[in-house]
Amino acid sequence: MASKPRALVLGHSFVRRVVEFIDLHQSNDHYRRDLNLSEVCDVEIFGVGGRTVDNMIRLDLEVIKRNAPNVVVLELGSNDICDSHCDADSIALSLVAFTELLIKSLSVRFVVVCQILPRRHTPFDGYNERVQKVNTLLREALQNINSAKFWWHRGLVNPAKNVYARDGIHLNDFGNEALYRSYREQFYLRYPNFTKRPESTCKFLTSCGECQ
């Protein structure tokens, strides 16, 4: 029997906090660290607060090598944008370069680069405009890499409810639920032979206009 593909969700505090959300709600079988995807692939989640592209390259490559993932879901970029001296082009280029490093040097077969979310409380004027520009540049650049794609988070694009915690930066429970389900949905789209979505996922996606 062929082994299941391995996936790694990798990133900054959003990833760490979604793990905390899972652990707080583990009595509800809808939320598990394997994203309830054991029939699809083996999933690991690794997030460290404050991560940027540069310090992920310096500090986390061994984590990636140890997990040897076929697929990496990359939640990164918002802390890079906090540096007001870095422009949108250089941030987008660094994310694309890191994506190519994962594919070419670490033999990752596919990389999903997630959208950078705006903030309600921003570190400087123009932060969210820079977020929008980096997302646009990333989406365009990744179209030229066959083994990568840009991903809009389901439920976090123009959400009907407030998704932010009190700090205006991180996500509240509703936001973390949407992020959790967005990560899961990526794998259903990545592995089309496993097309049956749990009923709870379809109900959530239908409410967001994503499940047909």
Average pLDDT over residues 184-189: 79
- Measured over the CA atoms of residue 122, residue 128, residue 129 and residue 135, the dihedral's sign is positive
Question: pLDDT digit string (tens) for 69-121?
Answer: 999 999 999 999 999 889 999 999 999 999 999 999 999 999 999 999 999 99
Instruction: Give backbone dihedrals phi and psi of 69, rounded to 5 degrees, phi first.
Output: -75, 150
Say which residues have a Cβ less than 8 Å from residue 1's Cβ, sequence separation at least 6: none
pTM over 0.85: yes
Question: pLDDT digit string (tens) for 138-177?
Answer: 999 999 999 999 999 988 998 889 999 999 999 999 999 9
